Amino acid sequence: MGSSVLISILITFLVIVLVLYLVARLPIDGRAKQIVQLIIIIIGIISMLKYLAVF
């Protein structure tokens, strides 16, 4: 595993955390917020798996 892959994973992780934080601050109701957060987490996991060359 190269350092560039590690950096890519780290950046992806930071972006996910940032987006989740911003979503948490949105004035939308709890159920919609949970759905949005779940979607973000799924997208994040998929993109991290891409960096690990699983796909």
Residue with the two structure tokens 């989740």: 20
Distance set, CA 36 to CA 11, 24, 30, 50 (Å): 20, 10, 10, 21
Distances (CA, A) of 9 to 17, 25, 45, 50: 12, 25, 10, 10
Cα 10 to its chain centre, rounded Å, is 11
Percent of the chain with pLDDT over 70: 95
What does the domain layout of the chain look like in residue ranges?
3-51
Residue with tokens 């595993």: 1
- Asked if residue 50 has pLDDT above 70, the reply is yes
Q: Does the pLDDT at position 54 exceed 70?
A: no
Quick one: tokens of 3?
Answer: 């350092």
pLDDT band at 1 (very low <50, low <70, confident <90, very high): low
Q: Mean pLDDT in the chain?
A: 85
pLDDT in tens, 35-48: 999 999 999 888 88
